[in-house]
Amino acid sequence: MSVFQKLSSVFLIISFVFLVGSCKEEGPSSDGSSNDLASLPEDTGGDHIAEVLGSTAAAYGYYIYLPGGYEDANANYPIMIFLHGKSERGDGSSNPEVLDRVLKNGPPKMIENQLWITEHPMIVVSPQYHGSTGNANNWGAGDENNLKGFIEYLIDNYKINEKRIYLTGMSHGGNGVYDYITNVPDSVSYLAAAAPVAAYGAGRGFEKAQNTPVWVFVGENDATNMKTSKNFVEKYNEQNPSPTHAAKITIFEDAGHNVWTRTYSGDGMGSADPDYSPFDMSLYDWMFQFERED
């Protein structure tokens, strides 16, 4: 082989490697990149702050957890928005017995009880749904732009990594997750991943969330939500073209409606039906795998 032929072969190989390395999926992806997370200061214990309705420009009263080091950090943080269940609804007022209902379950309860530990620091926001916004029977029904507007408010007012916005909710709040991802196209939803828990799966709009990773959690004895959750995952994954990431469903054996405690705490690992997606990593570690590319 001549020197020219050898140089030509080397050039072709280098060109191929460069081409492959430069190809990326659009929308949320799981490329394993975590440099932005590793550079965040350690969360040595943050502040859980109540923002009552009317004290800010937000459409909801809410609790927000700002990790330790947030104020001094020259960095943007991942954020998880948690939508509560039906019994935690309220007007977001300054009455602690009303707004504090959002502390009853899930991540805000864990934060209040000093049980909140994640591999990387993240902001956690828990808005309180009030009947004057949207549909009284469902978080997102009526006008999904209420939640979209709230996300935009958070982006404008906090140090948020816009590539790492995650949405989860339990029961009534899980319905809100389904409503949001099946009504707001993922190109403008701001979400990197979504996780409805113990909720009534959506029956349409799957294509709106085609690039959004989804992990569904439900109890096998949840008479209201079991079949609809399975149906959502099946229909979502049957899309043509196929979704960027196949939706996952974890079904807890011998469990009814309340599977949120074991999901958010991670205590349910190892108790899921082996015929479905295993609960083999924390929900938060799963979220951290994904970031938006657009």
φ/ψ (deg, to 5) at 26? -85, 155
pLDDT value at residue 13: 39
pLDDT value at residue 34: 73
Distance CA 80, CA 124 (A): 5
Q: Which of 8-22, 70-84, 186-200 has the lowest mean pLDDT?
A: 8-22
Alpha helices, DSSP H, located in the chain: 3-22, 35-38, 96-99, 106-112, 145-157, 172-183, 226-237, 260-265, 283-288
Average pLDDT, the chain: 87
Q: In the chain, where are the structural domains located?
A: 30-288
pLDDT digits (tens, 9 = 90+) for 192-251: 999 999 999 898 999 999 999 999 999 999 999 999 999 999 999 999 999 999 999 999
* Average pLDDT for 16-33: 42
User: Which pTM does this prediction carry?
Assistant: 0.88
* Average pLDDT for 37-44: 93
pLDDT value at residue 165: 99
Distance CA 215, CA 259 (A): 14
| Sign, CA torsion 103/105/108/114 | positive
pLDDT value at residue 77: 98
Element (H, E) at 129: none
3-state secondary structure of 284: helix
pLDDT value at residue 183: 92
pLDDT value at residue 294: 64
pLDDT digits (tens, 9 = 90+) for 136-166: 666 755 578 889 999 999 999 999 999 999 9
CATH number of 30-288: 3.40.50.1820
Distance CA 182, CA 25 (A): 21
Q: How many CA atoms lie within 13 A of 245 on its CB side?
A: 26
